[in-house]
Amino acid sequence: MKYLGLAYFTPEKFAAMAPADVRALVSQCPALDEKMRATGKVLVSASLGDLDGWRTLRPRNGKTHVSDGPYTESKEMVGGLFIIEADSHDEALRIASMHPAARIGEEGGWAVELIPMDFYLT
């Protein structure tokens, strides 16, 4: 089974952190990411770009309408994603718990949501 992991952050909490604290936090991520990838079960892992570059596309009157920024009004925003292939839900949880947003970053409002995928194309 494949699972989508969404890594969240809280922009206001992250922005309130001192730059040195942000650098110290982010510097811990590569080692944690590598540990997760070393399982051999990670198919995709990505950090998402700055929110200012996000665009939302939706159908309107038979045409595609493009608007600025994230569509969802939320206190938490998706900052990264990963896809893993696991033999069980417990294995998926074990692997997802290795992601930096599941282990560190409480001060930035980090969290991971793990979602089973019903359909996947390569």
Tens of pLDDT, residue by residue over 19-74, are 999 999 999 999 999 999 999 999 999 999 888 888 888 899 999 999 887 666 67
Q: Which of 5, 41, 33 is nearest to 104 (CA)?
A: 33
CB within 8 Å of 60: residues ≥ 6 apart: none
pLDDT of residue 122: 80
pLDDT of residue 24: 95
Q: Which of 88, 89, 4, 80 is nearest to 42 (CA)?
A: 4
- Do 3 and 115 contact (CB within 8 A), yes or no? yes
Tens digit of pLDDT for each residue in 78-97?
Answer: 999 999 999 999 999 999 99
Average pLDDT over residues 89-117: 96
* Residue 74 vs residue 110, higher pLDDT: 110
The Cα 42–Cα 107 span in angstroms is 26
